[in-house]
């Protein structure tokens, strides 16, 4: 049998001492400053470097010069990275809290694969070509797989291994289907092979406008779930005694995670490990209180995603390495480290 | 658990355990595999009736039939049998070592590793079939080694092995995706066909290395079957019974990785055979026990899993030819679809029994 002891609730509900709270608030401010810096760097760095003064000029006094066009182009890309990063980080944090599983990540749970399979179906069989068309399919696929993994992985007594396996198995089956479709349809292959790696390069203002409502609703929902999810971390019985609505919280959490992850996947393709890494890194200095984890994850995940995007643009200049690949290469070792740590394995 | 096992004893103190049910299943599976092979040899643009196929194989026929049978279609069927057998055996080994019915080479990322090796050859060097096979072999072996080393921490435990495999597989998948975007569309199509797993155009070039691999590994692995069964009782019990757990595990994992890498090099990562064959084998051999939750042993029915894998792959290949026409869709698509359905069913039932 697998090692399988009940999770130890470690939430301190007592209010943190004031100086600790001030420290956390200060940290959040620093994180926001960091995000602004990375975003500016994201506009300045690329196949052609722009000085910060030029970035400023392009942002606020757009006069249509070549450099201003570049700034505008990179601005959409940065904004999309910002939104997608926030979405992935929040959905990862919510999924980890909901499943009480430190290894929960939209990519590892197969939600990305669900979105991919739905999108390829839409492209190949239903002739959908625009993002506004297939964003709905991405949602549908993400939601279906999310529900399936949840059912199969077991809502009660779910171990990290069981959930990860359920997600992995479903991903494997769906990727088999993807491959079959791509073999039969060369045009779909040509479109899908760029979509499935996860990239911010195709960002436009229209893309952003289309997915923005989902991001906003998902973000608000996720942030609002901090308290009930905190209660649920204590175990189902205690949570019920504390007045939490278990089923409602679970359903809303799944909805928030699906909205966020579905929107991110629809806009940039599947990106793994961001939702896994950031909440973990954040937890090490905020403690297990979701009221702090969620805002931190929302701010620091885009820092990671935009940072990875910048790295991807720089390492292979003038070509780029897609951001999904950079995050996987950075995230894999982090995942392995978490697996090898003893407490994680036992949780 | 009551199975009708009998024990043969010789005067000299040697004894063998015989399981009539398992023997019957193996014999039946071999019959099915033989029938499917003959049907498969007869199928194609130039179809040959089964009687002629048999006669050509046994005593030779007219020149044209003989060429088609022995040079074109027999090696393909042999590759199918060998690859299916290797995958079935490797799957049984991995599932037993990881103590998890889902711990198959596909889930652990070995297929992805082989794919990475093959993609490097296809995309970066535009290599031919032999180089691609070599690349796949190297990729699979390196990935297997990496997973073993990363999962090592005073021994390799089932759950850590599975999770490390999943992590490695996610990273390698991303690398594969990157390589695929770097290819031109012709290479990309070729790569995707390879990634699905196909038996099209396989000849004696692939049969010989696989046969050599089998000659070494199959006796070795089957010889460890008793030790493996004891290991499933838990490490401490196994130590007490005189099994060197870590050594047995290492030996069998290396064998399983070699079998998987060899099979993948020959036919591409054919999905789900390694996952389903051991499970089906177990289900056909063990009498069904209702309400047996908890620690039912997986039981490494190595021989049965091997034969089951070979049968599955050949039947799937035959089915894909019948359903989609000759050489239209690679066999990996059929095993993928069948395996996916089976997997969902497995997840539901095993979850109910609390075994995953």
- Dihedral angle sign, alpha carbons of residues A237, A242, A243, A247: negative
pLDDT at B355 over 60: no
∠ CA B20-B25-B27, rounded to 5°? 95
- Interchain CB distance below 8 Å, B196 and A107: no
Q: Which regions of chain B does DSSP assign to beta strands (E)?
A: 6-9, 15-18
Exposed, middle or buried by CB within 10 Å (0-12, 13-18, 19+), for B187? middle
Sequence-distant (6+) residues with CB within 8 A of A33 are none
> How far apart are alpha carbons B172 and B187 in whole angstroms?
19
Q: Which residues of A touch B334 (CB under 8 A)?
A: none
For B336, which of A180, A197, A336 is closest by C-beta distance? A180
Closest CA to A271 of A282, A279, A280, A260: A260
Locus of tokens 């996720």: A222
Residue A141 · residue A119 · CB < 8 Å: yes
More confident position, B321 or A107: B321
| Spatial CA neighbour of B330 closest among A180, A307, A259 | A180
The minimum CA-CA distance between A14 and chain B, rounded to whole Å, is: 35
On the question of pLDDT at B290 being above 50, the answer is: no
Q: With cut-offs at 50, 70 and 90, classify the pLDDT of residue A144.
A: confident
Instruction: Give the closest-approach CA distance of B61 to chain A in angstroms.
Output: 37
Q: What is the pLDDT of residue A341?
A: 74
pLDDT score, position B292: 40
Tens of pLDDT, residue by residue over B231-261, are 877 778 888 888 888 888 889 889 999 999 9
pLDDT tens, residue by residue, B105-157: 877 888 889 989 999 998 888 878 888 889 999 999 999 999 888 888 776 67
* Secondary structure of chain A as H, E, C letters: CCCCCCCCCCCCCCCCCHHHHHHHHHHHHHHHHHHHHHHHHHHHCCCCCCCHHHHHHHHHCCCCCHHHHHHHHHHHHHHHHHHHHHHHHHHHHHHHHHHCCCCCCCCCCCHHHHHHHHHHHHHHHCCCCCHHHHHHHHHHHHHHHHHHHHHHHCCCCCCHHHHHHHHHHHHHHHHHHHHHHHHHCHHHHHHHHHHCCCCCCCCCHHHHHHHHHHHHHHHHHHHHCHHHHHHHCCCHHHHHHCCCCHHHHHHHHHHHHHHHHHHHHHHHCCCCCHHHHHHHHHHHHHCCCHHHHHHHHHHHHHHHHHHHHHHHHHHCCCCCCCHHHHHHHHHHHHHHHHHHCHHHHHC
Judged by DSSP in three states, B152 sits in strand
Asked whether the beta carbons of B181 and A322 are under 8 A apart, the reply is: yes
Question: Are the beta carbons of A165 and B356 separated by less than 8 Å?
Answer: yes
Of A190, A339, A345, the CB nearest to B167: A339
CB contact at 8 A, A232 and A97: yes
Which residue, chain included where needed, has tokens 């990519």? A107
**What pLDDT is recorded for position B275?**
83
CA B36 to centroid of chain Cα atoms: 18
Any A CB within 8 A of B204 CB: no
Q: Confirm whether the ipTM is greater than 0.95.
A: no
Q: Which residue has the higher pLDDT, A346 or A191?
A: A191
Per-residue model confidence (pLDDT) at position B129: 80
Q: CA separation (Å) from B120 to B145, B188, B191?
A: 19, 12, 10
Q: Tens digits of per-residue pLDDT, A42-77?
A: 888 776 777 777 777 777 776 667 777 777 778 888
d(CA B181, CA A197): 8
Is any Cβ of chain B less than 8 angstroms from the Cβ of A271? no
> d(Cα A162, Cα A142) in Å, to the nearest integer?
19
Distances from the Cα of A301 to the Cαs of A31, A255, A273, B256, B335, in angstroms?
Answer: 10, 20, 10, 39, 39
Quick one: pLDDT at residue B293?
36
Beta bridge partners of B156: B152
Question: Across the interface, do B99 and A2 touch by the CB < 8 Å criterion?
Answer: yes
Percent share of chain A, pLDDT over 90: 9
Res A258 pLDDT > 90: no
Contact B230, B237 (CB under 8 A): yes
A residues 273-292 closer than 8 Å to B (CB): 273
Q: Best mutation site among B174, B187, B346, B355 for testing chain A: the one with the most A CBs within 10 Å?
A: B174
* Minimum-distance CB partner of A329 among B107, B163, B174: B174
Half-sphere exposure of A213 (CA within 13 A, CB side): 5
User: In B, residues 143-172, which contact A (CB 8 Å cutoff)?
Assistant: 150, 153, 158-160, 162-164, 166-171
For B5-56, how does the pLDDT look when each residue is reduced to its tens digit (9 = 90+)? Answer: 667 677 776 666 667 777 888 889 899 988 888 888 887 777 778 877 788 7
For the stretch A164-175, pLDDT in tens is 667 777 877 787
Q: Is the pLDDT of residue B332 over 80?
A: yes
Query: How many Å apart are CA B90 and CA B254, to the nearest integer?
Result: 10
Residue A250 is encoded by which pair of tokens? 């679970």
- Name the minimum distance, in Å, from the CA of B255 to any CA of chain A: 24
Residue in B166, B168, B337 closest to A164 by CB: B166
Architecture of domain A38-346: Orthogonal Bundle (1.10)
Pick the residue with more confidence: A122 or B327?
A122
A190 touches chain B (CB under 8 A): yes
CA–CA separation, B285 and B25 (whole Å)? 7
The two tokens of residue B180 are 């695929």
Instruction: Using alpha carbons, list the distances in angstroms from residue A34 to A215, A285, A313, B62.
Output: 21, 17, 19, 79
Beta carbons within 10 angstroms of residue B99's beta carbon = 21
Closest among A8, A48, A7, A1 to A314, alpha carbons compared = A48
All residues of chain A having their beta carbon less than 8 Å from the beta carbon of residue B192 are 179, 182-183, 189
Across B308-332, average pLDDT: 83
What does the alpha-carbon distance between residue B163 and residue B143 come to, in Å, rounded to a whole number?
14
Write out pLDDT tens, residues B184-196: 888 888 888 888 8
User: Among B279, B326, B324, B285, which Cα is nearest to B87's?
Assistant: B279
Residue A312 has pLDDT above 80, yes or no: yes
Q: Kindly determine whether residue A165 and residue B162, on different chains, have CB atoms separated by under 8 Å.
A: yes
Three-state SS string over B276-327 comes to HHHHHHHHHHCCCCCCCCCCCCCCCCHHHHHHHHHHHHHHHHHHHHHHHCCC
- A262 touching B, CB under 8 A? no
Q: Tokens for B296?
A: 């039912």
Using CB atoms, pick whichever of B159, B163, B195 lies closest to residue A179: B195
Tokens matching residue B122: 């296809």
Neighbouring C-alpha atoms within 13 Å toward the C-beta of B205: 13
CATH fold of B19-287+295-353 reads ABC transporter involved in vitamin B12 uptake, BtuC (1.10.3470)
- Note the pLDDT of residue A16: 54
| C-alpha span between B313 and B203 (Å, rounded) | 17
Average pLDDT over residues B256-272: 88
- Kindly report the average pLDDT of chain A as a whole number: 79
Q: Nearest-CA distance from B86 to chain A in Å?
A: 20
Q: Which of A189, A185, A123, A177 is nearest to A145 (CA)?
A: A177
Residue with tokens 């021994």: B155
* Contacts with B, A 143-182, CB within 8 Å: 152, 154, 159-162, 164-166, 168-169, 172-174, 176-177, 179-180, 182
Q: Residue B88: which pLDDT band, with cuts at 50, 70 and 90?
A: very high
Question: Which chain B residues have a beta carbon less than 8 Å from that of A312?
Answer: none
Mean pLDDT, residues A9-29 taken together: 69
Nearest CA in chain B to A193: B181
Binned at pLDDT 50, 70 and 90, residue A240 comes out as confident
The residues spanned by each domain of chain B are: 19-287+295-353
Least confident of A48-57, A233-242, A298-307, B52-61: A48-57
Domain boundaries, chain A: 38-346
pLDDT of B297: 46
Q: Residue B327: pLDDT above 90?
A: no
Q: Determine the pLDDT at residue A1.
A: 36
| Whether B354 contacts A1, CB under 8 Å | no
Q: Are strands B6-9 and B15-18 parallel, antiparallel or unpaired?
A: antiparallel
What is the model's pLDDT at position B191? 85
């Amino acid at each position: 049998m697998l090692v399988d002891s009940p999770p130890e609730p470690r939430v301190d509900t007592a209010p943190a001492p004031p100086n600790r709270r001030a420290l956390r608030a200060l940290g959040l401010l620093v994180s926001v400053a960091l995000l602004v810096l990375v975003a500016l760097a994201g506009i300045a760095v690329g196949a052609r470097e722009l000085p910060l003064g030029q970035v400023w000029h392009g942002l606020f006094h757009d006069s249509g010069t070549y450099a201003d066009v570049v700034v505008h182009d990179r601005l959409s890309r940065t904004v999309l990275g910002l939104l997608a990063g926030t979405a992935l980080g929040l959905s990862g944090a919510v999924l980890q809290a909901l499943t009480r599983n430190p290894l929960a990540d939209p990519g590892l749970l197969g939600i990305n694969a669900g979105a991919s399979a739905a999108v390829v179906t839409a492209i190949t069989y239903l002739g959908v070509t625009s993002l506004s068309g297939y964003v709905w399919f991405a949602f549908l696929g993400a939601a279906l797989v999310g529900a399936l993994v949840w059912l199969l992985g077991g809502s009660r007594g779910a171990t990290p291994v069981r959930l990860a396996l359920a997600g992995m198995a479903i991903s494997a089956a769906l990727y088999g289907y993807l491959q079959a479709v791509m073999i039969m349809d060369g045009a779909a292959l040509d479109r899908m092979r760029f979509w499935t790696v996860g990239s911010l390069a195709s960002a436009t203002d229209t893309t952003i406008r289309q997915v923005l409502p989902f991001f906003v609703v998902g973000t608000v929902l996720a942030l609002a779930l901090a308290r009930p999810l905190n209660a649920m971390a204590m175990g189902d019985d205690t949570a019920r005694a504390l007045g939490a609505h278990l089923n409602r919280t679970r359903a809303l959490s799944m909805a928030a995670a699906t909205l966020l992850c579905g929107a991110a996947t629809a806009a940039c393709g599947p990106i793994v490990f961001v939702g896994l890494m950031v909440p973990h890194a954040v937890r090490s200095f905020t403690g297990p209180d979701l009221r702090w984890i969620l805002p931190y994850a929302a701010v620091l995940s885009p820092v990671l995603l935009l940072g990875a995007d910048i790295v991807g643009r720089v390492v292979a200049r003038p070509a780029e390495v897609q951001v999904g690949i950079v995050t996987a290469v950075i995230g894999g070792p982090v995942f392995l480290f978490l697996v090898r740590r003893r407490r994680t394995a036992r949780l | 658990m009551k199975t009708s096992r009998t024990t043969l004893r010789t005067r000299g103190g040697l004894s063998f355990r015989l399981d009539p049910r398992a023997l019957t299943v193996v014999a039946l599976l071999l019959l099915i595999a033989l029938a499917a092979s003959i049907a498969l040899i007869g199928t194609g643009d130039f179809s040959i009736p089964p009687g002629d196929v048999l006669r050509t194989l046994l005593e030779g026929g007219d020149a044209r039939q003989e060429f088609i049978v022995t040079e074109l279609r027999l090696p393909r069927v042999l590759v199918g049998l060998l690859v299916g057998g290797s995958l079935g055996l490797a799957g049984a080994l991995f599932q037993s070592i990881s103590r998890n019915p889902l711990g198959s080479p596909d889930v652990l990322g070995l297929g992805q590793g082989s794919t990475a090796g093959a993609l490097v050859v296809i995309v970066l060097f535009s290599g031919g079939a032999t180089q691609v096979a070599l690349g796949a072999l190297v990729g699979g072996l390196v990935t297997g080694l990496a997973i073993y080393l990363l999962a090592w921490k005073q021994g390799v435990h089932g759950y850590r092995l599975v999770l490390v495999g999943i992590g490695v597989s996610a990273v390698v998948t991303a690398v594969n995706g990157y390589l695929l975007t770097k290819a031109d569309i012709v290479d990309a199509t070729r790569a995707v066909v390879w990634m699905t797993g196909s038996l099209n155009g396989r000849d004696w070039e692939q049969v010989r290395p696989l046969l050599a691999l089998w000659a070494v590994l199959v006796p070795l692995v089957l010889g460890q079957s008793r030790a493996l069964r004891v290991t499933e009782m838990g490490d401490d019990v196994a130590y007490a019974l005189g099994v060197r757990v870590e050594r047995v595990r290492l030996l069998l994992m290396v064998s399983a990785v070699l079998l998987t890498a060899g099979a993948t090099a020959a036919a591409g990562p054919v999905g789900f055979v390694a996952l389903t064959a051991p499970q089906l084998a177990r289900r056909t051999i063990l009498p069904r026990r209702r309400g047996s939750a908890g620690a039912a042993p997986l039981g490494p029915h190595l021989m049965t899993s091997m034969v089951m894998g070979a049968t599955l792959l050949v039947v799937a290949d035959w089915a894909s030819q019948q359903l989609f026409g000759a050489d239209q869709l690679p066999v990996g698509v059929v095993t993928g679809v069948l395996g996916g359905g089976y997997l969902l069913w497995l997840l539901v039932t095993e979850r109910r029994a609390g075994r995953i």
